[in-house]
Chain A
Amino acid sequence: MYDAPQVTKQETAVTDVKIQASDVQVYYGGNHAIKDVSVAIDDKTVTAFIGPSGCGKSTFLRCLNRMNDTIDICRVTGDIRIDGEDIYDKRVDPVQLRAKVGMVFQKPNPFPKSIYDNIAYGPRIHGMARNKAELDEIVEKALRRGAIWDEVKDRLDAPGTGLSGGQQQRLCIARAVATEPEVLLMDEPCSALDPIATAQVEELIDELRQNYAVVIVTHSMQQAARVSQKTAFFHLGNLVEYDDTSKIFTNPEDSRTESYITGRIG
């Protein structure tokens, strides 16, 4: 078993930038929700977005795979590049983008289908398997990566909604992984889970780091400290501070970050 990751034993591996956002603005109708955010997110790293509720961290996360497109009144300007390509380019199909940038949501949201079909959904729509055997293989691989294979391998035909909350969330992570994304976005993935399930999911996140750039939004500073290597602190739509997690939690530069970390705002 892994030891629970500590902020202190952080090895800053040689990483390259996966996502580069510059001067991003987001408007909800007349409301300026994200102001001038620029951030570089590294590959094979867990990046945490923290901040008080309503600070825009989730909104910004949803810009990274253009989930905000599904909201009519939302408007995004600025420049977000993944591997150097502007994802808001007219030629980019959000469908292809989202296959590359997977997402896990706050509340576990398994489809009302069997566990197998939940995982196979993504590979099927993206045409990743040529036959049933290949699909089976993909499903197994995803479930293993979601660290839930042992628990469900005997009941792949059971409905995904019948699992416990923690299992459901790991199923959703496995579902996201099944499409072989390069980036995984997680929007408060543990907020609906109990502490044990949270620990399991956090462990999983640390493992996923080996293959993906993981961006996690969390309202729990402890969680950010436990799982992330880099942390961004958002406040009122601004990116206040972005640095190594150890730096943010031990020696923040901005007074607002310090206030938040020490519990004075939030």
Chain B
Amino acid sequence: MPILWLTVIVLALAALGYVIGRRRALASGDGRIRNLHSLPSYYGSYVAMMTGVPAISLMLLWLLAQPFWVNSAVLADLPVSAVADGSSSSLVMSDVRRLADGLDRAVAQGVMTEADIDAMGSDLSGIRTRLGNVGVALGSDVSTDILTSAQDYRTKAATGRLVMSILVLAVAIVGFGWAYQRTHKDFRARNVVERGIRYVLIAAACIAILTTIGIVLSLVFNAIAFFRVYPASDFFFSLTWSPSFGGGSELGILPLLWGTFYISIIALLVAVPIGLFSAIYLAEYAGPKVRGVAKPLLEVLAGIPTIVYGLFALLTVGPFLLGIFGPDGVGWMQAGTAVITAGLVMGIMLIPFVSSLSDDIINAVPQALRDGSYGLGATKSETIRQVILPAALPGIVGAILLAASRAIGETMIVVLGAGAAARLDLNPFEAMTTVTAKIVSQLTGDADFSSPEALVAFALGMTLFIVTLGLNVFALYIVRKYREQYE
């Protein structure tokens, strides 16, 4: 673990810097803290900061950039013969990387030595099993070309690491020296350190932006790659979804969108009435005792992981519904996994979501409106239906939209409960599938990442992202407007 060691060395240098910097500052002030501009610990922190931060940042940047450099360098040297027919250079490169990785691991675990690898030169038969023993599965047998490239890869990577280590250490030492030399009783160490901390804080806050950028870029780039190999019009308007990894897939999103919306609508049909009426009852009717028990219990439903709901759908609700609507009952249902199963369970999951949001919103309606209505001789239910709900309507609509966005983005329940067939059908007892479920199935198979069958997942993901983002932004806007109205 040279990186680990490098980090440890840099950190040790920084710690040393803290001690020495502190001491030097104190010495320059004749050992009296009063003579210093800042507390001694700030001088120490200054030296430590200047030693550690640039060096570690350089290391992180280098680690991020090095794979590109090595990749393109090796790719340039890749012999033409290594790329077999029907394969692509990126595919071969991933083999090369995996092999190089495996060799590294084998050496690290002492299963092989460098000499062993060099000696293998012509005899490649055993390499697959030997790497298999250290837990590296190679997809196909290794050719000499690939082994050469892998060795090339390893050499270049090792050189890169070496250069990086030297540079990082140099930066750390230079930073140390520079900071140490500036450490003096009149130096405004606190201000500099605080400015440094401030930059760290800003960097942390920027991670949110970076995450969004990361999401958007990874979706956009791969979606563009997909639309290059598959026509966008077919993707958006074709009525068939039938991927086949042998090629000739039809990848129309419409059946998936239909499944998504159908399941979401059923979920909302379950969650909205139950959630809304629960919220009304808990906010307007229930005494503090009932509220104190029922509200947290309902919210337990929100804390249960979705995998649990998925299992509940697959193994409990599905068979239960099949017993009623299946061949032994009414005969409408063929299998336990169906739109109704997933929708029902998703609805259960969303009940607390709707109820706690609505509860907040109903409670935000001013008491004066209730008093006004009661004062006119309205009953509670008349007040709720004719005064409170109309007043709370925008907020409740916002809550329902948020719930809808949850339903559309939900994955595990539909993966386990809705079935796998993409269908454009109105029968809720049929199995259908959704955008999220297909993202999972297209990306967890063994498909090559450059095939349209895998890339389609990114186009699906982008659609999902845009739809849910739109819903969220709109819903949050409505809710905020509503809150402002009563503030």
Contacts and interface: CB of A to CB of B under 8 A. Distances in A.
The winner among B369, B371, B375, B379 for most chain A CB atoms within 10 A is B375
Contacts of B382: 125
Contacts of A105: 368, 371-372, 375
B390 A102 contact: no
A98 B287 contact: no
A107 B372 CA distance: 10
B373 A111 contact: yes
A65 interface: yes
Nearest to B380: A70
A121 B386 contact: yes
Interface string B372-384: 1111111100100
B390 A122 contact: no
Contacts of A257: none
Interface residues of A, number: 29
Contacts of A70: 370-371, 374
Nearest to B383: A125
B391 interface: yes
A99 interface: yes
A190 B153 CA distance: 85
Given A72-B287, A121-B386, A125-B386, A107 B375 contact: no
A176 B375 contact: yes
Given A72-B287, A125-B386, A109 B378 contact: no
Given A72-B287, A107-B368, A113 B375 contact: no
B391 A109 contact: no
A87 to B, nearest CB: 13
A73 to B, nearest CB: 10
A100 B377 CA distance: 8
A72 B369 CA distance: 18
Contact of A121 (B376, B379, B391): B376
A68 to B, nearest CB: 11
B377 A98 contact: yes
Given A109-B366, A111-B391, A95 B375 contact: no
B484 to A, nearest CB: 14
A185 B375 CA distance: 9
Contacts, number: 71
B368 A121 contact: no
A175 interface: yes
Interface string A153-196: 00000000000000000001001100100000100000000000
A109 B377 contact: no
Contacts of A179: 376-377
Contacts of A97: 377
B372 A172 contact: yes
A125 B390 contact: no
B387 interface: yes
A70 B367 CA distance: 11
Interface in A92-146: 95-100, 102-105, 107, 109-113, 121-122, 125-126
B391 A67 contact: no
A122 B376 CA distance: 6
B378 A95 contact: yes
A172 to B, nearest CB: 7
Nearest to A112: B391
Contacts of B368: 105, 107, 109
Contacts of B390: 111-113
A125 B387 CA distance: 12
A111 B371 contact: no
Contacts of A102: 375-376
Most buried by A among B372, B376, B382: B376
Contact of B387 (A98, A107, A111): A111
Given A72-B287, A121-B386, A125-B382, A111 B374 contact: no
Interface in B377-402: 377-379, 382, 386-387, 390-391
Contacts of A126: 377
A109 B375 CA distance: 11
B377 A67 contact: no
Given A72-B287, A172-B372, A122 B377 contact: yes
A129 to B, nearest CB: 15
Contacts of A107: 368
A98 B375 contact: yes
Nearest to B370: A70
Contacts of B370: 70
A109 B374 contact: no
Nearest to A104: B375
B385 to A, nearest CB: 10
A111 B375 contact: no
Nearest to B376: A122
| Shortest 6 CB-CB contacts between residues of A and residues of B | A103-B375, A99-B377, A98-B377, A109-B368, A122-B376, A109-B372
5 contacts: A70-B374, A95-B379, A96-B377, A105-B368, A122-B378
Interface of B: 287-288, 366, 368-379, 382, 386-387, 390-391
